[in-house]
Amino acid sequence: MRIEAVDVFYLRMPEVLDIGDGSQDATLVRVRAGGLVGWGQCEASPLTSIAALVCPMSHSACKPVAASVVGQRLDAIADIGRIGDAVRAASLDLLQAEHTLSGIDIALWDLIGKRLGEPVWRLLGYPRAYPKRPYSSVLFGDTPAQTLAKARAARAAGFTAAKFGWGPYGRGGVAEDREQVVAAREGLGRDGILLIDAGTVWGDDVATAALRLDALREARATWLEEPFHTGALDAYATLAKRSAPVAIAGGEGSHNQHMARHLIDHGGVGFIQIDTGRIGGITPAKAVADHARAAGVTYVNHTFTSTLSLCASLQPYAGMERDEICELPTEPKALSLRLTRERLVPGGDGMLRLPESPGLGVTPDPAVIREFLVDTEIRVAGKVLYRTPAIDG
Amino acid sequence: MRIEAVDVFYLRMPEVLDIGDGSQDATLVRVRAGGLVGWGQCEASPLTSIAALVCPMSHSACKPVAASVVGQRLDAIADIGRIGDAVRAASLDLLQAEHTLSGIDIALWDLIGKRLGEPVWRLLGYPRAYPKRPYSSVLFGDTPAQTLAKARAARAAGFTAAKFGWGPYGRGGVAEDREQVVAAREGLGRDGILLIDAGTVWGDDVATAALRLDALREARATWLEEPFHTGALDAYATLAKRSAPVAIAGGEGSHNQHMARHLIDHGGVGFIQIDTGRIGGITPAKAVADHARAAGVTYVNHTFTSTLSLCASLQPYAGMERDEICELPTEPKALSLRLTRERLVPGGDGMLRLPESPGLGVTPDPAVIREFLVDTEIRVAGKVLYRTPAIDG
């Protein structure tokens, strides 16, 4: 079959708040081929990702993403990798391209899974998808008391693991950060898996980050996530040498598999966190999962939006039994909560299971798309390059 | 003074060809503050870079670039670094942001140079700007005969160094590539500095790249540039160990200083090539130049468009006497050739000298901007987020 169309939709909440919550808008991708439809999502700026899809060519290595996708053959799994390689070559100098490609690659896997009648994880070579232990992923409260309440709520909801991040953490003093971490541990209980996310707040400043290690050890945090910008390899490596038994986690900012491999090979991370909506999709994420396994590093999904993104993020390591924990956004905004007809929720044993149905196993709800759809138009030299596409159904 | 406005202009040739020539369009940046105007240029997709400037906020770490620039104080040089840091933090998840920031950072340096009455290179701490030995930067011909003619033309024009890149190189067989390189050497003469640019054609395939080394040694090439994608550090390091006396060059794809530092620290490059229009501007480029000097790696500018970009690209290493060679695009399209009132051409001794006048020392010509300006409009939810700004003068 040939790829007939790639459409990107800009969805958002009526109000977008200035907080570290990526579930407030969505870059939804629809690919059509052979009478089938595949869906994907980029964890990226919708307008900028649309521009990367449709922008006029600047030169032979700065072409719009659509130019390397629409019209291509999609018959076998290998075609997905070929299309991704073509995008990376023809859009080499188009920085946003890898974010746009992410949603397309995911939609191609969904589509070919539907075509072949198999779930994506099986097409990736996994005989089965193991249950994952979800951690509740929430923002720190503005105060330790709020964080305590959030941690208690996570525990009451049946979570055995929880991650607290962003908000005030790393923006005040060492004592304030300690109080936040202690409150999280208290609320989660003695046995819960506690994860702390610094959201790159220290740039590449190892000394300032290291001041938080004692409190993290005291609270028995399993990892400290993203102390630094994804590119600050030396800072990662230096902190990792001093942080035991707290591991360093990172990688969500990787927009190609090289960046993630560098964190594994040169950055000393114990957990590599990959967002399939940013790294270029499921294809490069699977390559990172394989590399991590060989290097003895644990793979974890990164995701903070819809069930569609969640399902995509779990595929690359679905069959890796020992890499057990997974991120589950537990405070998504209505748009992200309601985007798909299906929701993925932990079972009675607290574990999360991927659908066995073909493709990703989840489908966006046309009525919800329409409800949150943002009318968008881009004109260049009198020509409409993009106008919000129609939604069927 | 406060930054009053940041405007981005999309310029392009009437026809954009599917060739490796980045001079066919331009992303021009104008910053206004305190009654002064600074100019910069991104080497990036114009439409996508504009979208990154004006896109609606997605969350606290995915804001439009303009949000961190407009209204900021600009009194001292340190303010430029502070503004860049603010963009990198508030637009952390907006991949294209660093390309957009590049032109803004350059414009801020131009503006503050005008305010202080000093050329940018002096504000960077250099007592003087040393003359640079320009290499003629051209595309390989489609045939060895065409390449021979191009090399002879470069020599006849007084160049003692020339770089040939892209086109058929690396896309055919080893024998064809050898003929191209031999033709370039023959045309350039025995003593000319010959540089070869593979334009990332081998991805991360070391074995295929290594097949070209014998011909490069035979032709006494000084460097092989970009055999691989900027992120393929291990491939760079492996090839660099086998390539002597041919050095490996790379780095133009760096969109932050971390990437360039990795190529120096872990990739084994002998020459680090930085495009100020992509790495985030003159500020991070200067940091890379300092790091390269400490590591014994030679810094070279990368630039392929206008005299404005050329002048910006030369500032970070203007005062480094030993890092002598520089890129000079010699086949730019009319837009890039005519964009600035001033042109930078080699002196009678074949050497290139930066202007001593304040800022970058070059100014775009309003008539030329108008001639190549592309009318562009972006609407989101019924609101015009971008419309091509007016040109004064």
- Report the gap between the CA of A121 and the closest CA in chain B (Å): 27
Percentage of residues in chain B having pLDDT higher than 90: 96
Peptide bond into B245 cis (omega under 30): yes
Residues of B in contact with A21 (CB under 8 A): 59-60
Cα gap A89→A101, rounded to integer Å: 12
Give the nearest partner residue to A379 out of B96, B278, B377, using CB atoms. Answer: B377
**Kindly report the CA angle at A261 between A257 and A264, in degrees rounded to 5?**
145
Residues in chain B: 393
Angle at which helix B257-265 crosses helix B233-242, to 10 degrees, equals: 40
Phi–psi pair at A122, nearest 5 degrees: -70, -40
Residues of B in contact with A56 (CB under 8 A): 12, 16, 25, 47
pLDDT tier for residue B7 given thresholds of 50, 70 and 90:
very high
Phi–psi pair at A140, nearest 5 degrees: -55, 145
Is pLDDT above 80 for A131?
A: yes
Is pLDDT above 80 for B393?
A: no
A130, A324 Cβ separation under 8 angstroms: yes
B161, B193 Cβ separation under 8 angstroms: yes
C-alpha B190: how far from chain center = 29
Residues of A in contact with B93 (CB under 8 A): 22, 43-45, 253, 278
Angle at which helix A282-295 crosses helix A257-265, to 10 degrees, equals: 10
pLDDT tens profile B324-366 = 999 998 889 999 999 999 999 999 999 999 999 999 999 999 9
Residues of A in contact with B95 (CB under 8 A): 44, 48, 95-96, 98-99, 255, 278
Residue in A23, A24, A45 to test binding to B, most B beta-carbons within 10 Å: A45
User: Could you count the other beta carbons within 10 Å of the beta carbon of residue A393?
Assistant: 10
Is pLDDT above 90 for A194?
A: yes
Q: What is residue A347's predicted lDDT score, i.e. its pLDDT?
A: 94
Q: What is the mean pLDDT of residues B265-272?
A: 96
Q: Which of A167, A176, A197 is nearest to A17 (CA)?
A: A167
Q: Model pTM greater than 0.90?
A: yes
Residue in B11, B58, B140 to test binding to A, most A beta-carbons within 10 Å: B58
Q: Which of A7, A84, A85 is nearest to A53 (CA)?
A: A7
Q: What is the mean pLDDT of residues B243-253?
A: 97
- Within 8 A by CB and 6+ apart from A34, the residues are A1, A2, A74, A115
The predicted complex's ipTM stands at: 0.96
Element (H, E) at B285: helix B282-295
Q: What is residue A251's predicted lDDT score, i.e. its pLDDT?
A: 97
pLDDT tier for residue A17 given thresholds of 50, 70 and 90:
very high
C-alpha A90: how far from chain center = 25
- Report the gap between the CA of B191 and the closest CA in chain A (Å): 32
Cα gap B293→B299, rounded to integer Å: 8
Residues of B in contact with A54 (CB under 8 A): 47
- Within 8 A by CB and 6+ apart from A280, the residues are A84, A88, A98, A101, A102, A105, A255, A256, A257
| Strands laid side by side in the A161-165 sheet | A298-301, A271-274, A247-250, A221-225, A193-197, A161-165, A133-139, A325-329
- Report the gap between the CA of A201 and the closest CA in chain B (Å): 8
Cα gap B132→B129, rounded to integer Å: 9
pLDDT tens profile A211-259 = 999 999 999 999 999 999 988 999 999 999 999 999 999 999 999 999 9
Cα gap B289→B238, rounded to integer Å: 24
* B379–A376 CB contact, under 8 Å: yes
Residue of A nearest to B258 (CA): A231
Give the nearest partner residue to B44 out of A18, A93, A99, using CB atoms. Answer: A93
Cα gap A238→A358, rounded to integer Å: 44
Residues B169-201 as b or e (16 or more Cβ within 10 Å = b):
bbeeeeeebbbbbbbbbebbeeebbbbbbbbbb
Q: What is the mean pLDDT of residues A201-213?
A: 95
Is pLDDT above 80 for B66?
A: yes
Q: What is residue A169's predicted lDDT score, i.e. its pLDDT?
A: 95
Peptide bond into A245 cis (omega under 30): yes
List C-alpha distances in Å: B97 to A99, B184, B255, B388: 12, 38, 9, 19
Q: What is residue A166's predicted lDDT score, i.e. its pLDDT?
A: 87
pLDDT tens profile B12-60 = 999 999 998 999 999 999 999 999 999 999 999 999 999 999 999 999 9
pLDDT tens profile B174-200 = 999 999 999 999 999 999 999 999 999
Percentage of residues in chain B having pLDDT higher than 70: 100
Is pLDDT above 90 for A297?
A: yes
In this structure, which amino acid lies at residue A291?
H
Is pLDDT above 80 for A393?
A: no
Tokens 């991704």 -> residue = A84
Structure-token pair, residue A169: 């953490």
User: Could you count the other beta carbons within 10 Å of the beta carbon of residue A127?
Assistant: 7
Q: What is residue A137's predicted lDDT score, i.e. its pLDDT?
A: 87
* A376–B376 CB contact, under 8 Å: no
Q: What is residue B269's predicted lDDT score, i.e. its pLDDT?
A: 98
Is pLDDT above 90 for B392?
A: no
Cα gap B201→B210, rounded to integer Å: 13
Cα gap B333→B15, rounded to integer Å: 10
Tokens 């480094």 -> residue = B320
Q: What is the mean pLDDT of residues A41-63?
A: 98
Cα gap A239→A267, rounded to integer Å: 9
- Report the gap between the CA of A230 and the closest CA in chain B (Å): 9
User: Could you count the other beta carbons within 10 Å of the beta carbon of residue B99?
Assistant: 27
